[in-house]
Structure 1
Amino acid sequence: MSMNIAVFGLGSMGYGMAQSCLQAGMNVHGFDLVPDRVARFVEEGGTTGTFAEVASSLDAVVVVVLNAAQVEHVLFGDDGAVAHLHQGAVVKACATVPPEFAKEMERRCAERGIHYLDAPISGGSVKAAIGQLGIMASGSASAFAAAEPILEATAETVFRLGDTAGAGSAMKAVNQLLAGVHIATMAEAVTFGMTQGIDPNTVLEVISKCAGTSWMLENRAPHVISGDYTPHSQVNIWPKDLGIVLEAAQAAGFDAPITETALARYREAVEMGLGGEDDAAVAKVYAAQADLTLPGTES
């Protein structure tokens, strides 16, 4: 029989993961607060039905929402998913959350006989759509086994980081520290170059061939150069994710001043009304402070 799954959260990442599972031959039910996303997914082959109608037949629930509060609401809120799943079903939780929260979700799922895989994702919307994400996963052998078809459909690489939840989310925090800092540093470097009379496109052309390059420079600088801030990954993500990093660092007695500085830039971007734009829009914070005109913003 084909695997029967539900994907909660049809944003840029969740939609791509749902598409990848469809392409792998699964029956996929998509749920989102935005009705148009659900309608579009059904038109592309998603299976219809309300969650109440399909819950008891589901083999897995994939949760691709924004934060811990939303994960808890999907799983254990009013009419939450876990209460309706059959024993042996698996929850694959992909949101960036604190490690201790992931452990708590695993415990609460286990009380209901439900497997929980702590499975944060990385790679962006493009890789999500073609099933080539990196997944930082931890959980029991049974959770991995139950989620295996979904992992195969959505991931290029699955990092198996431990036999209990929490380790996957801890590794995602390390990734987000680097990714968030690198995006902010990309913005700083590109705009600094502009103060020195160097066109952003020239910065990208040269630095991408030099030791100072990074994946984030090569991926995000083109957004600044084109002046296109259509969100593939929103500015709004970073105050939450870097906040998780700093929370974990504080609990460990660890000082993370570079993360703190990057976080301040994202918070400034949100205050400027840029939260819903692509995270490369953090360059606008630097541009405003230096009275620079970025490509695509010329009057």
Structure 2
Amino acid sequence: MTGTVGIVGVGNMGGGMAARLLACGWRVQACDLVEAKVQALVRQGARAAASPQEAAQGADALIVCVVDAAQSRAVLFGPEGAAAALERGRAVLLCPTIAPQDVEALASGLAERGLAAIDAPMSGGPARARDGSMSLMVACDDAVYAANRALLEALSGKVFRIGTRVGDGARTKLVNNLLAAINLAGAAEAMALAERLGLDLARTLDVIEQSSGQSWIGSDRMRRAIAGDYAPRAHVTLLQKDTGLALQAARAAGFQASLGPVAHEAFNRAVAAGDAELDDAALLRLFRRP
């Protein structure tokens, strides 16, 4: 079963998701502030949409894949917002990593318009979005899940059904991303130490990948960093944002985090050092500095 999907935000992850759907036979209406990103998908068969509202017209579902809660609100409820164009009963997949209370507020606004929210943050990077192997952490009403299951399974072979409480997908993603940030900061520091000790970094990473220090994000990012490849797949600012949101959620729950603030500060320092728009593999540059 296929249909028509609007996607607002076709950058690294959204573009990968759009390409995946097109390859699976779905019709995609793509919208982004960067026209070149839309045109790249048009060449693959997508239809260009000039606004979120246009992306939503006639769509069976809408995917919001922007950066933060403010952008999500604008996409849905702004002057050219998508919510006004969606038919009642349609679903909106909320894929950005945002605070649980923001997901809940967006879901409430959609419900007032007769629309359903699917709390569906994603993880895995652009390549995995493109081949359908990324993770989706899904929280929504059971009936909404059943109605949109074909779309969810087309997007990902790793759909994790978190539950029915909208916001729990966001909570799960923040927990994941806090650990990812801690792992990445640790990997960057360890590789900087290896370099200071006079070790060959590629060979050291070979050992780590087959030993107890291995982590997926450490291997993925440090391979790129060793090669000097800092082209942004996930900007430094994303994990800076996400760790801040995770720590905010921790405080709200009365949980005193210890390692999370250290990782968050490492990303703050990388941004302050001018690496904000680089791939987060650039964290190695931070630990290499005297």
Q: Give the TM-score normalised by the residue count of structure 1.
A: 0.93
For 2:49 and 2:182, how far apart are their aligned partners in 1? 42
Q: Does 1:42 align with 2:11?
A: no
SS at the partner of 2:236? coil
Which 4+ runs in 1 deviate beyond 6 A? none
Instruction: Measure the CA separation in 2 of the matches of 1:56 and 1:195.
Output: 57
* Alignment partner, residue 70 of structure 1: 71
Distance between the aligned counterparts of 1:95 and 1:12, measured in 2? 12
Are the aligned partners of 1:204 and 1:217 in contact in 2 as well (CA < 8 Å)?
no
How many correspondences in the alignment?
A: 289
Report the AA paired with residue 100 of structure 2: P
User: Are the structure 2 counterparts of residues 53 and 194 from structure 1 closer, same or farther at C-alpha, using a change threshold of 3 Å?
Assistant: closer
2:62 corresponding residue in structure 1: 61
CA distance in 2, matches of 1:26, 1:218: 33
Q: Percent identical across equivalent pairs?
A: 37
Residues of 2 paired with 1:237 and 1:49: CA distance? 26
- 1: CA distance, partners of 2:40 / 2:161: 33
Alignment correspondent of 2:273: 272
Distance 2:5 2:171 in 1: 26
Rounded Cα–Cα distance in structure 2 between residues aligned with 1:4 and 1:29: 7
Pick closer, same or farther for the CA change 1:77–1:192 going to 2, 3 Å: same
Given residue 227 of structure 2, which amino acid in structure 1 is its aligned partner?
S
Deviation string, structure 1 residues 186-219 (Cα, Å, up to 9, x no partner) = 1001001111111211210111111111112221
Indicate the larger mover: 42-51 or 79-88.
Answer: 42-51
Paired amino acid for 1:23: A
Deviations 1:109-161 (A, max 9, x none): 11111010000001111101101111111011232123222211111211111
Give me the whole-angstrom Cα distance separating, in 2, the residues matched to 1:191 and 1:11.
31
Counterpart CA distance in 1 for 2:117 and 2:239 is 25
What do residues 2-49 of structure 1 show as CA deviations (whole Å, max 9, x unaligned)? 411111111111000001111111110111110111111111110244
Taking the aligned partners of 1:55 and 1:176, their CA distance within structure 2 comes to 30
Mean CA deviation greater in 48-57 or 17-26: 48-57
How many angstroms does 1:54 deviate by? 5.6
- The amino acid of 1:16's aligned partner reads G
1:222 equivalenced with 2:232 (yes/no): no
CA contact (8 A) 2:132 2:157 kept: yes
Counterpart position of 1:84: 85
2:201 maps to which residue? 200
Question: Take 2:258 and 2:234, find their aligned partners in 1: how far apart are those partners?
Answer: 24
Q: In the alignment, does 2:30 pair up with 1:30?
A: yes
Letter aligned with residue 224 of structure 1: A
* Partners of 2:39 and 2:48 within 8 A in 1: no
Residue correspondence of structure 1 range 1-299 to structure 2 within 5 A: 2-51=2-51, 52-53=53-54, 55-289=56-290
Output the amino acid matched with 1:284: R
Partner SS for 2:234: coil
Task: Structure 2 unaligned segments of length 5 or more: list them.
Answer: none
Tell me which amino acid in the other structure corresponds to 1:155.
S
CA contact (8 A) 1:13 1:128 kept: yes
Preserved contact between residue 234 and residue 276 of structure 1 (Cα < 8 Å): yes
Give the CA RMSD over aligned residues.
1.4
Q: Distance in 2 between matches of 1:233 and 1:2?
A: 30
Cα distance change of structure 1 residues 101 and 141 upon mapping to structure 2, 3 Å threshold: same
Q: Deviations over 1:208-259 (max 9, x none)?
A: 1111111122211111111111111110101210010010011111111211
Question: TM-score, normalising length from structure 2?
Answer: 0.96
Structure 1: gaps spanning 5 or more residues = 290-299
In structure 1, how many angstroms separate the alpha carbons of the residues matched to 2:50 and 2:101?
31
